[in-house]
Structure formats: C-alpha cells, structure tokens
Amino acid sequence: MRTRKHQFSFGAGEISPELYGRADAAQYQAGAAELKNFIVKAPGSVRSRPGFDLVGRSRNQSGRAELFPFLFNTDQAYAVELGPTTGPGAEDYGSFRFHREGGTLKWGNPVAIASVDVADDMFTTERPHGLNTGDEVWITTDGSGIPGGLLVGITFEVINVDLLRFRVRLTTGGPQIDLLSEGTGNLSVTK
C-alpha cells in the first residue's frame, strides 16, 4: 500500500546525499534532495523562481546559444550570448553578443529613415544606409509609435533593395514583414 508524506517546510533547502539515510535528523525532515526552479523563502516555504523576459532572438536561430552572466562592477551587469558562428570563414570562432536592461547592445551610427512605404513594406533612408541583405538591425523612434507590424526591441534582418531603400524580416529566409502603419516620430535604423 502506498503512503504519502506531507512536507510542511523546506527551510533546510537542498540536503547533502550523506543525509539521505538520516530520517531522524531535523534537516532531513525540512529539506529536499533537489529543488529545481524553486527559491526557498525564510519561513520555509518555496516559490517558483522568476522566469526570463524575451529580449530578442538568438543571432543564429538554427543553432544553440548559451547565456552567461557577466558582472562588470556593482552597477553594471550583462548577459553574454555565446553561439555558433554565423559568417563564412570564421568556423573556429563563433559569435557573442551582450544584453543589458532588456536590450541588445548595438554599435554603429543610426541612419535616419526619411519615409515608410506601407504599400510596398519598404523603408527609405535620408542617406545611403550601407546595409546588406542578412544584416541585423534595430528600428527605433523618438516618438510614441514604431511602424505597425514591427515589434519593439526585436532585431530584424535586412532585405536590401538599393542604396536608400530596404525591407525587413524576422528570420533568415522568412517573408518580409507586412507594415501596417508608418509610425510616429523620427525613425532610425541601427546596425
């Protein structure tokens, strides 16, 4: 016949395997062999650990990427994304990116977007953008709204049309994004 044991406290946290045979010990009565994805609170109860927010997609969506914490000092903490290589000729090196405060750190100078063509799902820049098909970009605005159909804080992939015009998509080889509105404020694209 099966019996059930009620556990009223996890105040001892995870106990050592050396304590498994000591059912008479107080730590055995208030501990667990493993607490995965839980945090023990001071009174002895447990709660689920908080999850993660989606900051962005991995650079190489078909490969595996790992996140590691990096503490620069007491005020600056980053998540470092290490993944497989994404470009030709760099097979032995892989790739890495830094994430902080809900976003991916980017480099480069933003290029102002002069207009958004909703009918053709195309952006036109004020000067040559220097983007190539496959480049990862971020589209931002200083106004209250990003163009409809785009997601805030997500990295997009460029579909290059010419020196001043380009389209975007979410995934490599995926369809271009259908723009629903022009957005508000001054738009810019950053590589």
Per-residue pLDDT of 30-61, as tens digits, reads: 888 888 888 888 888 888 888 776 666 776 66
Cα–Cα distance, 31 to 47 (Å, whole number): 15
Which of the four pLDDT bands, split at 50, 70 and 90, describes residue 88? low
What is the CATH superfamily name and number for domain 111-190?
Ubiquitin-activating enzyme E1, FCCH domain (2.40.30.180)
pLDDT at 151: 78
Q: Could you tell me whether strands 38-40 and 111-117 are parallel, antiparallel, or unpaired per DSSP bridges?
A: unpaired
Please give the DSSP secondary-structure letter assigned to residue 147.
P
Q: Which of 109, 115, 123 is nearest to 166 (CA)?
A: 123
pLDDT tens sequence across 10-35: 888 888 889 888 888 888 888 888 88
C-alpha span between 67 and 72 (Å, rounded): 16
Q: Give residue limits of the domains in the chain.
A: 13-48, 66-104, 111-190
- 108-132 tens-digit pLDDT: 778 999 999 999 999 999 999 888 8
∠66-52-179 over CA atoms, to 5°? 90
Closest by CA position to 167, among listed 153, 151, 156: 156
pLDDT over 80 at 104, yes or no: no
For 138-156, the pLDDT digits (tens) are 888 877 778 888 877 778 8
Between 89 and 124, residue with greater pLDDT: 124
CB atoms within 10 A of CB 23: 8
Amino acid 92: pLDDT: 56
